[in-house]
Structure 1
């Protein structure tokens, strides 16, 4: 969990992902299209990825474990939450407040 906290606080937007996950790809693309350059942590490419994934599941209740999105150092949620925020217009507001976008 310490590694997750450290990584999630390094940039305005951090996405914990797996390179083979189609929902992860969709969420990353959504952020790129918003003009955000998120930090991406591919758990299947990290030496401690399995432990990090377990922490996401047990400590944060991520189910499925990825994508797990942090904005402004705070856990926001997974794909369903991010898509809901996008559809109701709150994602852009959160990104502005975190300094991820300027417009």
Structure 2
């Protein structure tokens, strides 16, 4: 059985915001034995936390750069719903940032 799914918008699809033409070009596969459909193309988030790492003695929390927010939003708008992140990317900041940005799509 081929796990490839014919066109069906991903759960992150938002009418009027998502780019339906781009989404139609992306292949989605079922993730293992689940009902989750993930894009064949992923967003690599290794760089996401890098710019926020600091040697600041006060350990002040920095704002997430707008360019990072826009990059994640654009990937999701274009139909990418698989994000590659790790606790080793940016000393864990990548996972925190991606989680904060993506929470908009989960609500």
TM-score w.r.t. the length of structure 1 is 0.27
Q: Which one has the largest radius of gyration?
A: 2
Taking structure 2 as the reference length, the TM-score comes to 0.26
